[in-house]
Chains A and B, each alone.
Chain A
Amino acid sequence: DIQMTQSPSLLSASVGDRVTINCKASQNINKYLNWYQQKLGEAPKLLIYNTNNLQTGIPSRFSGSGSGTDYTLTISSLQPEDFGTYFCFQHNSWPGTFGGGTKLELK
């Protein structure tokens, strides 16, 4: 299985900050990389698919980039509703595999 290494695992930030979260794959995943947000007790929500495509209804402050094995999620200006856990997911090969998650908390 492809291993996904996500960093950092914990991120403390303030409203208005620009933040980045990284995922590194153990092999080339050809940009088949999604990003999700999850809040306690809620279903994971798809933010970005296939590296840089914004899911319908997701604010434009979220963006994604990357290629090969290295991928990044950027939130340009943190809003109060953005705090929660984020994880990446590769679906280049079966089974899809996930990063370990990044907990984004209020500083």
Chain B
Amino acid sequence: EVQLVESGGGLVQPGRSLKLSCAASGFTFSDYNMAWVRQAPKKGLEWVATISYDGSSTYYRDSVKGRFTISRDNAKSTLYLQMDSLRSEDTATYYCAREGIPTADYWGQGVMVTVSS
């Protein structure tokens, strides 16, 4: 059974950093591109970043470019999102998703990030 379990969320002050993790199981992690998607309270979903199966390529939405870094450790079957210079508008539930065929076929349950002083 495919499982994606996010961790690392919490309350953080504006301008500070936080690192999210997503532990994958039930499939060969190194075969799949992976992504982070977020949902701000009472708002719609936003695709945040994508990383290729081998980590060689990454893609970011404009609003997080230069502040967020997506990475992965295939030996540990874990996806990461390093979030620096956090802003109040980054407050959201963050989901990791598998970029399978079909795209975004499995998602985690999400982890909450609150940016507030």
Contacts and interface: CB of A to CB of B under 8 A. Distances in A.
Contact of A53 (B59, B102, B104): B102
Interface stretch (A12-20, A22-30, A41-49, A61-69): A41-49
Interface stretch (B9-17, B23-31, B44-52, B81-89): B44-52
Contacts of B59: 94-95
B44 A49 contact: no
B102 A43 contact: no
B103 A43 contact: no
B80 interface: no
Contacts of B102: 34, 46, 49-50, 53, 55
A46 B104 contact: yes
Given A43-B109, A44-B95, A34 B4 contact: no
A97 interface: yes
Given A95-B61, A98-B45, A100-B44, A46 B50 contact: no
Given A44-B95, A89-B104, A91-B104, A97 B47 contact: yes
Interface residues of A, number: 23
Contacts, number: 51
A96 interface: yes
Contact of B105 (A32, A42, A49, A87): A49
Name the residue among A44, A87, A101 with the largest chain B CB count within 10 angstroms. Answer: A44
Given A43-B110, A44-B95, A96 B104 contact: yes
Contacts of B95: 43-44
A98 B46 contact: yes
Residue from the set A41, A46, A50 with the largest chain B CB neighbour count within 10 Å: A46
Contacts of A55: 102, 105
Top-4 shortest CB links A-B: A49-B102, A98-B45, A95-B47, A43-B107
8 contacts: A43-B4, A43-B106, A46-B104, A89-B45, A89-B104, A94-B47, A94-B50, A95-B59
